[in-house]
Structure 1
Amino acid sequence: MSATEKIQIVDYNDRYQSAFRDLNAAWIAKYFEMEDSDYQLLNNPRQAIIEKGGYILVALDNGKPVGVCALVKLDGDPYDFELAKLAVAPEAQGKHIGSQLIEAVIAKAREQGAKKLYIESHTSLKPAIHLYQKAGFKEITDHPSSFNRVNIQMELTL
């Protein structure tokens, strides 16, 4: 059995709230500082993301949450959704979980009839940028961000 066969991607359930928060808070704190927008999304994902028309997918390795990714609905924006809060536990990195989550989120966006996906990131996060480029995201400019750490924005036309 290959490493990817035991990874299961499931829809968010409130029992994954702490994993969603902790996985994201860990990488954000490692490279940057947590911002108000982070706390809002991570502490209340059901209210901040799901109840507003978004989705969160969770990667499970033998039932344990090891990766998360959100699809945040963007109202009144040229983009339908933002791919956000992608995080994979350090011990699970290198198993293509990030790629699987990105593919699953793109498929979810297509199911919802989305025409364009948006991403904000930072160029120092080279593995993440590489995954986004591999999935077909292209760099764009001049889109406002609510995060201080953002220095690259990308889009994917679906």
Structure 2
Amino acid sequence: MIREGRPGDLPALRAVQSATLAEPWPDLLETAVDGPPLVLVCDRGGPVGYALAVPDVPVTYVAELAVAPDSQGEGVGTDLVTALFDRLRERGVERVRLTARAVDEGVHDFYEGLGFDVVERVPDHYESGDGLLFERSL
């Protein structure tokens, strides 16, 4: 089930965040569960993944997408992004952007499979190196 995040989800979401993301933003996640950033949670008897977006019209930025390691490869990420697209369309968003580490080819394949295109290389975006800015029209 995909639903909006709640403050009570924070401990589980932090665990997913720290287990999954190389450079997480814990403060952003804490702020987001109270809004206005949008946090969608995949709940399978407890949160196993989340998508965090900073909604703006006409372009929204997805700041984090994280799926617990033992739930990866089960469609959780795809379900979260699909639900996020639906919510953002309802809000009048026309395009979605996100950044991924330039060295994460598997992540690039995932986003390209969802219709994203690389629009820019962002030097030194991450502590560990460059990022790639992806964009997709809704």
Pairwise TM-score range, normalised by the shorter structure: 0.7 to 0.9
Q: What are structure 1's unaligned runs of at least 5 residues?
A: 1-7
Instruction: Point out the structure with the larger strand share.
Output: 2
Asked if the contact 1:58–1:69 (Cα under 8 Å) also holds between the matched residues in 2, the reply is yes
Asked if the contact 1:81–1:118 (Cα under 8 Å) also holds between the matched residues in 2, the reply is yes
Asked if the contact 1:71–1:109 (Cα under 8 Å) also holds between the matched residues in 2, the reply is no
| Count of residues paired in the alignment | 137
TM-score of the two chains, using structure 2 as the length reference: 0.84
Shift in alpha-carbon separation, 1:46–1:86, aligned structure 2, 3 A = same
Instruction: Point out the structure with the larger helix share.
Output: 1
- What code does the residue aligned with 2:105 have? K
Map of 1:45 onto structure 2: 32
> Sequence identity, in percent?
25
CA distance in 2, matches of 1:58, 1:18: 13
Question: Secondary structure of 2:63's partner?
Answer: strand
TM-score of the two chains, using structure 1 as the length reference: 0.75
Question: Secondary structure of 1:120's partner?
Answer: strand
Asked if the contact 2:51–2:66 (Cα under 8 Å) also holds between the matched residues in 1, the reply is yes
The aligned runs of 1:15-94 (5 Å cut-off) are: 15-28=8-21, 32-34=22-24, 38-46=25-33, 50-51=35-36, 54-61=37-44, 63-74=45-56, 80-94=59-73
